[in-house]
Amino acid sequence: MTNPIIHHVSVINRDSKVSFDFYHKVLGLDFLLKTVNQDDMDMYHLFFGDTTGRPGTEFSVFEMKSGAKKSFGTNSLERTVFAVPSEASLSFWEARLQAYDVFNCEIEDYYGTKILRFEDQDGVQLGLTPIKTTDDERFPHVTADIPEEHAIIGIDSMHCRVRYAQASACSFEKLFGLHVVESFDENGMTVTVLTKENALFNQQIHLYEDRDRPLEQMGVGAVQHIALNAKTYSELLEIEEGVLEKNFRYSGIKNREFFQSLYYREPNNLLIEVATEQTNFEKVKYDTTDFDTIPLYLPPFLEQRRSFIESRLR
């Protein structure tokens, strides 16, 4: 049985309606949930994924209407790469992105395969690459203009830019059992690739070592955090012990209703969430693609504040 390394990824966008149109209607990710950031209830939080909403496919967007755009730099969660069925799928997506006037870098050679790098409307860096496995179950969201043979399957990898790759690699190895499978040169930088046995979609983390650029400044267009997977709550507790042993800054365990999680800063200051794969999530089927008519979901502890919260989101 396979389990994800990457549970989900969360990014920052300026406008939720625009994000909904891009990730659901252009990229074809299934829309899972319209809710609020539990730590900042003035902020929409949208969830996308495959048709099951399972960990390993989830991608979420925080809305930040005001504030600066990110400043590109090192020590950043730089690019989320999605898996598609084949190299032929990249040609389909290149044509589709061009048709929607989405900035992209065209199909390139990368790490013995191909990649199509592109950006959303706020500069969030994304990519598509052919899936590395053939035996994992797939539940892509298929639409009238995105056929199953080209639909996005889930998250393939996260590309990070860091000053000290070995420090991050050792941390991921100790806490999550990841191991280095290869290092290679990409545009003058050494890229260290980590994975583990029986990873869903053979997910990976790529660490670009960049000691020259200034530090990234968080803002609109950035990856806010990556959530790595803990198979069970017991495993989450074991990871918590490892975080405490290293004296990393961390949040304590939080009940996010759908899963339990904690947040910590690893050696290159990347914000890592650790979330349980055992989820309490029942996917809702929406009969509309009009963002404004999709009901706002609130967890039970926020339901009594619905009127106030909805007034703040207008």
Q: At 162, which CATH number?
A: 3.10.180.10
> Is the predicted pLDDT of residue 295 greater than 80, yes or no?
yes
Whether 136 is in a domain gets the answer yes
Cα–Cα distance between 154 and 6 in angstroms, integer?
10
Q: What is the pLDDT of residues 73-113, one digit of tens each?
A: 999 999 999 999 999 999 999 999 999 999 999 999 999 99
Contact 153, 50 (CB under 8 A): yes
Q: Which domain holds residue 67?
A: 6-313
pLDDT tens digits along 61-71:
999 999 899 99
DSSP state of 52: T
Rounded distance, CA 194 to CA 180, Å? 4
- Measured distance CA(246)–CA(267) in Å, rounded: 10
Q: Distance between CA atoms of 62 and 58, rounded to whole angstroms?
A: 13
* 169, 207 contact by CB (below 8 A): yes
Taking each continuous run of H as one helix and of E as one strand, the counts in the chain are 6, 16
Residue 249 has what pLDDT?
94
| Confidence (pLDDT) at 280 | 76
pLDDT, one tens digit per residue, over 232-257 is 999 999 999 999 999 999 999 998 88
Report yes or no on 68 lying in a domain: yes
**Gap between the terminal Cα atoms of the chain:** 44
In a domain, 111, yes or no: yes
Residue 281 has pLDDT above 90, yes or no: no
**Residue located via tokens 């040169």:** 185
pLDDT digits (tens, 9 = 90+) for 118-173: 999 999 999 999 999 988 999 999 999 999 999 999 999 999 999 999 999 999 99
Cα(98)–Cα(85) distance, rounded to whole angstroms? 20
Residue 62: inside a domain: yes
Compute the distance between CA of residue 210 and CA of residue 164 in angstroms, rounded to an integer: 8
Q: Which helix (H) or strand (E) holds 104?
A: strand 104-110
* Count of domains observed in the chain: 1
Report whether pLDDT(37) > 90: no
The sign of the CA dihedral 174, 222, 99, 141 is positive
Q: Which residue has the higher pLDDT, 39 or 31?
A: 31
285 assigned to some structural domain: yes
What is the pLDDT, as a whole number, of residue 181?
Answer: 97
| Residue 28 backbone phi and psi in degrees, to 5 | 80, 15
Tell me the per-residue pLDDT of 171-199, one tens digit each, with 9 for 90 and over: 999 999 999 999 999 999 999 999 999 99
Mean residue pLDDT of the chain comes to: 95
Instruction: Note whether residue 1 is domain-resident.
Output: no
Q: What is the pLDDT of residue 38?
A: 83
The answer as to whether 41 is a domain residue is: yes
Q: What is the pTM of this model?
A: 0.96
Q: Is the pLDDT of residue 216 over 80?
A: yes
